[in-house]
Amino acid sequence: MSTAELDGKTAVVTGAGGQIGGGIARELAKAGCDVVLADVDVLDTAYNQQGSEEVHGAETAHKLADDIESMGRRAIVVECDVTKAAQVEAMIDATVEEFGGLDVMCNNAGIITLSTVEELAEAEWDSVMDVNAKGVFLCAKAAIPELKRSKGTIINTASIAGEIGAAGLGHYVASKHAVMGLTKCLALELAPDDVTVNAICPGIVNTPMWSKVLTPAMGGDYGDIIEDVMPLGRDQTPEDMGRLAVFFATNRNVTGEAVKVDGGITQNVI
C-alpha cells in the first residue's frame, strides 16, 4: 500500500540483487517509490558469502525490476561496485537523470567471510571493510547533495553484529560497528539540512550469509539453530527489513537510530 509521504519519491538500494536488498526495494516500491536497483554480477574478490567472484547481483536485480514495474512503479538497474567512487557517483548521476532527484538512499550492499583474526588474510579484511564500511561512506557522500535538496533520508544496513562481538567474525563485526558509528555521525552532520540517517540491524535472515557461511560453521541445521537461539522461535525476513526502511523513510523525527529486527536474539543472554 502506497503512502502519501513516499508516493512518487525515488529510492536507491545497493546490493539490490540480494535477498535483504530485494526485500527493502519491494517494500519501498509498495509504499510508492520508484527504485534504482544497484548491484554487480562480478566482484574483484572471492572473499564473500558466495565464495566466488561471480555473484550475479545485477542479473537478479533485473528480475526484481520487472516485479517492481508490475506493481505500477518504475525501476532501473545500475551496475555499481560500491567500493569504486567513480561508479558510485555515476549511479547517483543516473538516478538524477532518470528520475529527477533522490529521496531515499539505502546503503545495503554487504559481504561476509569466516576467519579468526589470527588466520585472517589482509586481503580478506580489506574486502569486507571495503564493501561494508567504505561502500556506505562512498554512497552516502555521493548522495548527500541530492538528499539535502530533497530533505531525504539515508538508511544503512548494519547488523546485530554492530552491537556485539563474535568469534571468527572480527572483520565483519568491525565493519558493522563502523556502519553504526558513521550512521550516528551522519545524523548529526545532516540534521541542520533536515536529512535523517538511520540503520537497520537484521538478526537472522535465511540468506547465503547463513546458508553458505554461518550455518555450516555452527555445524547444525538452520531450523534447529533458530529454535535454539531465537526467543520468538522464528527467523526474520527480507520484508521485515523493508518495512523498517519504509518506517525510517516516513518518520521525519527519527534520526541517528539503529533498530534491531532480530526476534529478541540479542536479549537472549542466558
DSSP string, 30-49: HTT-EEEEEE-SB-S-S-ST
Q: How far apart are alpha carbons 137 and 85 in whole angstroms?
A: 10
Give the integer Cα–Cα distance in Å for 15 and 155: 13
**Beta carbons of 81 and 38 less than 8 angstroms apart:** no
Helix (H) or strand (E) holding 77: strand 75-79
Write the single-letter amino acid at 113: T
Instruction: Report in angstroms the alpha-carbon separations of 226 from 192, 205, 250.
Output: 42, 10, 31
CATH superfamily of 9-258: NAD(P)-binding Rossmann-like Domain (3.40.50.720)
Q: What's the pLDDT at 218?
A: 77
The pTM for the full model equals 0.95
pLDDT of residue 68: 98
Active site residues: 172
Per-residue model confidence as pLDDT tens for the chain (270 residues)? 668 899 999 999 999 999 999 999 999 999 999 999 999 998 888 888 887 878 788 999 999 999 999 999 999 999 999 999 999 999 999 999 999 999 999 999 999 999 999 999 999 999 999 999 999 999 999 999 999 999 999 999 999 999 998 999 999 999 999 999 999 999 999 999 999 999 999 999 988 877 777 777 777 788 888 888 889 999 999 999 999 999 999 999 999 999 999 999 998 765
In order, the DSSP letters of 180-225 are HHHHHHHHHHHGGGT-EEEEEEE--B-SHIIIIIIHHHHTS-HHHH
Q: Is the CA virtual torsion 80, 83, 88, 90 positive or negative?
A: negative
Q: What is the pLDDT of residue 1?
A: 61
Q: Would you state the pLDDT for residue 3?
A: 81
| Short-list 30, 61, 31, 24, CA closest to 154 | 24
Q: Are 195 and 151 in contact (CB under 8 A)?
A: yes
* Domain boundaries defined on the chain: 9-258
